[in-house]
Structure 1
């Protein structure tokens, strides 16, 4: 037995020393979780780590929930879960799973930490939002299970997260410890519904860093025996592998002591510590029980055997997005149609992540729409938001200042259309807007689809999956 197999080290391009990573690979850590890089750099790293590992199979994991584009610059995004939720289609969710699997395998990743099964029922939640399928637990359950199957059929492992449900919190657990004031009955009727439904299709469960005082007054879920063993394993009969969420997050304090607590609580894998070499040294001197190590190794060995040797091939991200974007788009308000040759005032809001709006703008220009700055004379206002989640940012949605700017502009132009390629929240109280168009994703094809809808060349078939 090797205690290092309980460690899945994080590798952050531009931050992690590769020699440290190779040292950990040689020690026999069970896997790595990759953040950032380029397509070629990830492939090279994966090859080197596996060549240095004594294991018959070293797992490579990543948070490719929306494709490689979330972590690798220049790579395509896949339509978000909230977009899929707007379609309410299990088939689209399944196809997304196949597409994510195809993308992951193309760079050597065989474990995708998806899908997010948290509910999108708290507008101020800074880290769930478009990662969720929606506010309805039964919708999230149905689509989450379908995406799990798509990942599995596509040849990669999945991990449902963040148990027991991170949606109804307003703090980013990368920055602090969120508190969820829900009883077990509340959870069973809401947050736990998607997990219960998806567990038969789940290869693993990731436990969230959040405190639920009604279940455990002292320990976050990721360190709680009551929650991991008492609820997930005993009440919900899950016998599979359990991950902590990333240990480098600020919600759990000292990661060495937290690691021991997590293992004693029932977790099998310690994910992405700030210093995995130091954690390895610590665990070798403070060995968990043989029973804990053996249970983790047995579950990992079983999952190696589960990897599909001949996976089903999914659509490319571009093909997936182009095919399904209209089904995932939502139009609310009055009917507004752009006419070729008209002038549109353009206002961009909430672009904290510097998502490129170029595909949207170029498609408008190609259609013969003349663009001017908001405030200048125009036939219509197009107010575009790219507000989206980002770890360690701590906020989402339009700021009060941006809402004021949007309201002022909407009063100046008739008609005025708010177009969101990210969070659906932030403009719901601005009554001066004529219409709203939600794509829920910055993907190139989503931006192009938005223009087609504005021109009347395409219909938005989705329904809003959250409460606005």
Structure 2
């Protein structure tokens, strides 16, 4: 095997130099993981990289966990996994998989790093949260299975992650090394359960940068021969491709030594190094086991064959407008506490907290106005207070809780309005911090979910979802 094929660099549109990526392609790296871009940019770069590569096929991957809209501004943001957990509908999970796969394939992206099998069982976890289907291992397994089947139907490869389970930790592995303190018994019945059930369907397993003392006291999972070679491959019998989580994440320390340790532990792909050229040079200077190299080559060849099995749809067909997100939103919304219903002619005061990404509330506001509701100006008295809480997971953020100043702002306003409702547009645990008497959970800030929240307030439908977590 060409050693360079082990490495799959990242490409950040607007940040990474295209000439560097083309040079890496000419050197024979096995693929690239994309971040950002527009539909046109992604499609053009996949073609350019493949044209430069000496390999018959390279794999283009991306973290399209909530559809392409989480990364591409001109694609729709699909329902979060936690929203699907609230809806508890495998048909919706399957449909999400198909849509994601078809859209990715139409742009030349073969491999979707999803689904997340981590459990949403730790309120302080800053990086899993709405990426999980829920806290119940069986619910997660059922919905993830449907999503995987949808991806396969749409022609994209999957990757179940983050083995052996990133849920029960309060640290973002993009910033530091998390420790999963679960006992060996708890791991078997909870964190590992979805992985054990879905390994037969996995095109690949992404191993997390996690210290799991019950499994290995010394090495994080992504570098651990006990966890990759022992648990995953031997005990659980997994015969497929093993990929590291992004090596550029700050949990690992020395990138070169981490990559080498991961390869020796049994990983077949070294994903997204911070300095890919330096890593390639280093790998050529050390003695790499030929048996492990051959195994890695076989795994990548197998992925390439699977990726080429289903032809890609045209972008025009793949991105046709659907009502999927609207249907999902209507099933996913959860109401806790007294139901608040708005009537035409009422005036509403809307305040927002946790909007780190400057997301627009226009879909929510416009839907209220269409229902005959007027919006009060800041400080103006109104009939009902609506609090929009936007806070959601973000890599390298390190926390997901609201700041004390944000909490004080909301609680001050709640005292002034006997009639009020909190709408959490992402992180559901924010409701515990704000103590609203009535909360509407959407689990997603997508425009379709904002419109559904407004229609629910207008009494257009009853929220029927159930919380897939424990508050």
- Range into which the TM-score falls when normalised by the shorter chain: over 0.9
Inter-partner Cα distance in structure 1 for 2:256 and 2:119: 31
Q: What is residue 29 of structure 1 aligned with on the other side?
A: 29
Query: Is 2:438 aligned against 1:443?
Result: no
Q: What is residue 387 of structure 2 aligned with on the other side?
A: 383
Corresponding residue to 1:324 among 312, 322, 328: 328
Q: By how many angstroms is 1:458 displaced?
A: 1.9
Q: What is residue 362 of structure 2 aligned with on the other side?
A: 358
Inter-partner Cα distance in structure 2 for 1:320 and 1:197: 27
Q: Secondary structure at the match of 1:98?
A: helix
Inter-partner Cα distance in structure 1 for 2:200 and 2:24: 32
Instruction: Check conservation: 2:368, 2:458, Cα contact below 8 A.
Output: no
The RMSD of aligned alpha carbons is 1.6
Inter-partner Cα distance in structure 1 for 2:284 and 2:69: 37
Q: By how many angstroms is 1:427 displaced?
A: 2.1
Change (3 A) 1:114 1:277: same
- How many residue pairs get matched? 467
Q: Secondary structure at the match of 2:357?
A: coil
Contiguous gaps of at least 5 residues in structure 2: none
Instruction: Check conservation: 1:242, 1:268, Cα contact below 8 A.
Output: yes
TM (normalized to structure 2)? 0.96
Q: By how many angstroms is 1:234 displaced?
A: 1.1
Q: By how many angstroms is 1:466 displaced?
A: 0.6
Deviations 1:316-350 (A, max 9, x none): 57521012211111111112111112100101011
TM (normalized to structure 1)? 0.97
Instruction: Check conservation: 2:67, 2:96, Cα contact below 8 A.
Output: no
Instruction: Check conservation: 2:216, 2:226, Cα contact below 8 A.
Output: yes
Instruction: Check conservation: 2:168, 2:182, Cα contact below 8 A.
Output: no
Instruction: Check conservation: 1:99, 1:320, Cα contact below 8 A.
Output: no
Instruction: Check conservation: 1:99, 1:316, Cα contact below 8 A.
Output: no
Inter-partner Cα distance in structure 1 for 2:192 and 2:224: 16
Change (3 A) 1:216 1:37: same
Query: Is 2:416 aligned against 1:412?
Result: yes
Q: What is residue 218 of structure 2 aligned with on the other side?
A: 218
Deviations 1:226-248 (A, max 9, x none): 11111111111111000000000
Deviations 1:110-144 (A, max 9, x none): 10000011011111111000000011111111111
Q: What is residue 184 of structure 1 aligned with on the other side?
A: 184
Q: By how many angstroms is 1:183 displaced?
A: 2.2
Q: By how many angstroms is 1:399 displaced?
A: 2.0
Q: Secondary structure at the match of 2:42?
A: helix
Instruction: Check conservation: 1:86, 1:464, Cα contact below 8 A.
Output: yes
Change (3 A) 1:333 1:374: farther
